[in-house]
Structure 1
């Protein structure tokens, strides 16, 4: 038996919701923007294979790969539940660039754990799986936050809530919107991006953050697109992180001048996103970003919509 699970890219923070919002995205052209993990029975010992465009960006030692850690965590959970495990071969098809701000590590974690759960015919429920995914993400970034793993696993626009028994709520999103994701081809680690943030914030910024996030959530429920994107401003991270992204400020100014509803940094960067409600305009801006924002040959631009499915099993 073999199962393959795909986990999509995600746009964390969504400008207005630092560590509190995340959106799963999928390219309109059908490109698989995310990671794919295949789990199959092995005759000998457990083993891990890594393939794909960005495989060479991962640690060479198997024990240093987050997917290998996922296997150990899952097997421990199986043992605690009194369930038997088998020897497996896991193949990670690494389609996502590391340190891109698109939830690369979350894609690997979600695809691996969801793949193992599917291999064992869904031994664990959704909340148990989500907690394991958060645990693995915390191991990478140094702090527990679900704004990548929740949308990657569940799909849609997710709001993190302060209740460990709920973790995340799905917000109504805007179905007519397009999200242009531009990865410049350089790496910014989550750890480095967090280190540039201040230890303390001004009262004015805290008030703005709370008011903007509340206004955005309200607008989502009322489907008020004008209000939603009017308050999509990042007062927590972008002012401090934009210096890590070459050309970001110039690109943001251009995109807004060309009618983008909003522009921001995806996750901790360096990926930039902009929002449009017309596909033709989104494609035009994608071409401009292709010519003006990419830094290396590894960079790419995708016009995306919301991925409502999240992690899913792929059929042969």
Structure 2
């Protein structure tokens, strides 16, 4: 193929109760795409171009862009497996804000690797690509974790295994849950949001964390919605990270008063998410968040379902 274009959706890391272990890909119910796309096309020499709403927020210079790092990493992997190198140029459409808690860097990384692998004739399998994606994501956040790259790549809600093969396991989801996500317009560094966390936790907290994720996974597999919702509280990061998010407590109080199933921080924030059983409740939550939680013109909100597809080809 002369040209390959791939889209990777935004994602919620942690999903409140699953710090570094759970992630969920997002698809707005209105049909709008929420994520980045990357195009790979045949060329004599490598070059990177960028556009999109948040392209101006990226580091200047192609060498500082994560997509260039993906290209370099992929070429090294091809060489180490005695595969022919690619002669391509790349383009990044940056639609997700940096430091938003929506898996912005993961979306770019996933779209880049997916497009490169497809363009090269799929030399690497899913888990090999995921390990590559995790390595690149770790360069940005300071530690390797898959709770954004995995759902963005394979779709759905993913549970990280802690292994290289398989890297993650897809979990069942409730198709009739509505996920309201609201980005305030502020930026929170993933590395800084990790630094704010304690280095040690009390035994009772770790036991609660383990119980919650075990019950949640069981409830998804058994279709017990109320049980799943009952354990969607963050005992690891929220009380520390919410200090970085203006109006977080007010937003939670309102959304839960509107029949909210759950409310939490998406990844490191500042994006928050609320879960509703029906569209009317979700719309009320979205309206309030638009007025009270968004801090500037960069902010936005969407009502979503879980994106079960993940990364995909899109027409060039």
Partner residue, 1:30? 31
Listed as ranges, the matches of 1:141-180 within 5 Å are 141-180=141-180
The question of 1:300 aligning with 2:307 is answered no
Counterpart for residue 192 of structure 2: 192
Residue 15 in 1 paired to residue 31 in 2?
no
Normalised TM-score (structure 2): 0.98
- Which residue does the alignment assign to 2:201? 201
Aligned-partner Cα distance in 2 for 1:284–1:187: 25
CA distance in 1, matches of 2:302, 2:7: 18
Deviation at 1:87, TM superposition (A): 2.0
- Does 2:107 match 1:86? no
CA contact (8 A) 2:127 2:164 kept: no
Please give the root-mean-square deviation of Cα atoms over the aligned residues, in Å: 0.8
Alignment map for 1:262-301 (pairs within 5 Å) = 262-301=262-301
- State the alpha-carbon separation in 2 of the partners of residues 286 and 141 from structure 1: 29
Q: Which ranges of structure 1 fall in alignment gaps of 5 or more residues?
A: none
Q: 1:86, 1:266 → 2: CA distance? A: 36
Residues 1:260 and 2:260 are matched in the alignment: yes
Aligned to 1:313: 313
Q: Secondary structure at the match of 1:98?
A: coil
Secondary structure of residue in 2 paired with 1:259: coil
Partner-residue secondary structure (3-state), 1:102: coil
Q: Could you tell me how far apart the structure 2 residues matched to 1:298 and 1:203 are? A: 40
Please say which of residues 76-85 and 233-242 is displaced more in the overlay. Answer: 76-85
Given that residues 258 and 284 in structure 2 are in contact (C-alpha distance below 8 angstroms), is that contact kept between their aligned partners in structure 1? no
Matched residue count: 315
Equivalent residues in 2 for 1:38-187, closer than 5 Å: 38-43=39-44, 45-187=45-187
CA distance in structure 1 between the partners assigned to 2:219 and 2:86 by the alignment: 48
User: What is the deviation of 1:88?
Assistant: 1.0
Any conservation in 1 of the 2:254–2:285 contact (CA below 8 Å)?
A: no
Alpha-carbon distance in 2 for matches of 1:196, 1:86? 41
Matched position secondary structure for 2:71: helix
The alpha carbon displacement at 1:315 in A equals 2.3
How many angstroms apart in 2 are the aligned matches of 1:41 and 1:314?
Answer: 17
2: CA distance, partners of 1:107 / 1:72: 18
Shift of 1:72: 0.3
State the SS of the aligned residue for 2:26.
Answer: strand
Q: Which residue of 1 aligns with 2:234?
A: 234
Q: Secondary structure at the match of 1:315?
A: coil
SS of the residue 2:95 aligns to: coil
State the shift of 1:11 in Å: 0.5
